[in-house]
Amino acid sequence: LDDVRQGLEATVAARTVELRAANAALTREVAERRRSEDRVRHLLAHDPLTNLPNRLLLVDRIEQALARSRRYGTRTAVLVFDIDRFKEVNDGYGHPAGDRLLRELARRVQGAVRGSDTVVRLGGDEFALVAPDLADAGEALVLARRILDACRPPFDLGAGRVAVTVSVGAAIHPEHGPDTEALLRAADAAL
């Protein structure tokens, strides 16, 4: 009877070791799958060059900001901006230098605006800023000035330094539109 019991205990102990190893492997696999899913979600909502949110996330951020504006009686600004004559940078310095300019511009603008603002790369050399919870339209002008000031110092492109200018168009909710599409159209028209 002791031999049978010891045999069963040895079998249970071996099986326990196997199950712990299988559980650890499964835990690693689930964690890796979650990281992969998180990465896919990030890639769907962010620009691969600048790592800024993309147009898909822009719409969500504007909708959230508009909901807050309606609830609290504040304003939301949507600013659209682009680099003047960006094609000349790509043609004169090459696309890698143009990419470097876009990444640096994204970094500078993010550092110049409020933490509650969302900087978005729409594509090419076009960007947007969603600025929620503004007390008045004048705050949008302050943000536009910050964007312009951040882009004023020359950019080091590796192949040389280049000064660029940026154009900015702004639209304010509720003055320039009741919804996302109207604000984007108004900001584009202002640009």
Catalytic residues: 125
Amino acid making up residue 174: P
**DSSP alpha helices (H): ranges in 113-179?**
138-151
The whole-angstrom separation of Cα 160 and Cα 92 is: 10
Unique residue bearing structure tokens 């964007």: 147
Q: Are 187 and 169 in contact (CB under 8 A)?
A: yes
CA torsion angle 23 27 32 36 (round to 10): 120
Would you give the DSSP letter of residue 77? Answer: E
Sequence-distant (6+) residues with CB within 8 A of 57 are: 45, 46, 118, 120
